[in-house]
Amino acid sequence: MHPILFEIGGWPFPTYGLLLAASFLLALRVALGYARREGVQPEMVMNLWLWVLIAGVLGAKVLLYLTDLGYYWRNPGAIVASLRSAGVFYGGFAAGIAAGVFYIRRHGLPLWKCLDLSSPALALAQSLGRLGCLAAGCCYGRPTRLAWGITFHDSQARAITGVPLELPLHPTQAIMSVVAFLCFLVLARFYRRKRFDGEVFLLYAFMETITRFGIEFLRGDPRGRLLGLPTSQTLAAAGFIVALVLYLKRRGRVSTPAV
């Protein structure tokens, strides 16, 4: 794997950053297509996604530091070094949703329509972005003897993310990338059949939280613990419950006949 794609004048260009930018642009194109279908102004969706991107990056970093606060308190220099790595997805997801809802409410956009039109695009962005994780060596898996194990050799990946070298690991990044792409295909197909606004987003939330809860059993990188489980696993369980409550509430409004 190659965490640093190339250097110009001694300034490194990380592969993860390039793929993150590419995933954002590709996903934005998809979201704009759905915005036109929903009758939402594409310009407003573009601004919305910029808000979400900035908040998501910051949120992912903040939760990364909070999950291992003691370590970063003792080693403040590690904060600078960690800027080259990704972060905790659910920190970015929560911050992005909060920023998105704020923007949507402020500009009077239809909340659930905007969440729906963003969901397939978000899944597609995750699929490409996880390849960036694979290149950087972050989000790595536990050691394995299975045939699908992947081995990292790049010392830069070790320095940036702490990934073990010369040791076969579960390909968690590749698994998450494939699953996210399958999620995109499911959402794109389901979109035309949705019965109420918000159903596509909540379906995405179900698939994401279930997948994330499961993949955590194969993860080997330190992620901190919350309520006795890895932080992301606990947040995935909580996210599933919230999504289920919202789904039942939204579906009940649709199925309840008018009086």
Total residues found in the chain within this entry = 259
Tokens 């949703």, residue? 97
Q: Which residues of 42-75 are buried (b: 16+ CB within 10 A; e: fewer)?
A: eebbeebbebbbebbbbbbbbbbbebbeeebeee
- Which tokens in the block code for residue 143? 């050691």
Identify which of 200, 199, 208 has the alpha carbon closest to the alpha carbon of residue 236.
208
pLDDT value of residue 77: 61
Q: Domain for residue 255, yes or no?
A: no
Q: Say yes or no to pLDDT of 259 above 50.
A: no
Beta-bridge partner residues of 4: 14
Residue-averaged pLDDT of the chain = 85
Is residue 142 domain-resident?
A: yes
The residue with tokens 């900035």 is: 54
Q: Write the pLDDT tens digit of every residue in 205-235.
A: 999 999 999 999 999 887 777 778 888 899 8
Report if residue 258 sits inside a domain. Answer: no
Q: Which two tokens stand for residue 185?
A: 């295909």
Residue 140 contacts residue 172 (beta carbons within 8 Å): yes
Chain segment 101-148, per-residue pLDDT in tens: 899 999 999 999 999 999 999 999 999 989 888 888 888 999 999 999
Is 101 inside any structural domain?
Answer: yes
The total number of structural domains that make up the chain: 1
Residue entry with tokens 């039942």: 248
Q: For residue 258, name the pLDDT band (cuts at 50, 70, 90).
A: very low
The answer to whether residue 210 sits within a structural domain is: yes
The most confident of 80-84, 170-174, 251-255, by mean pLDDT: 170-174
* Phi, psi (degrees; rounded to nearest 5) at 219: -75, 145
Domain extent for 125: 4-250
CB of 194 closer than 8 Å to CB of 200 = yes
Q: Is 133 contained in some domain? A: yes
In a domain, 169, yes or no: yes
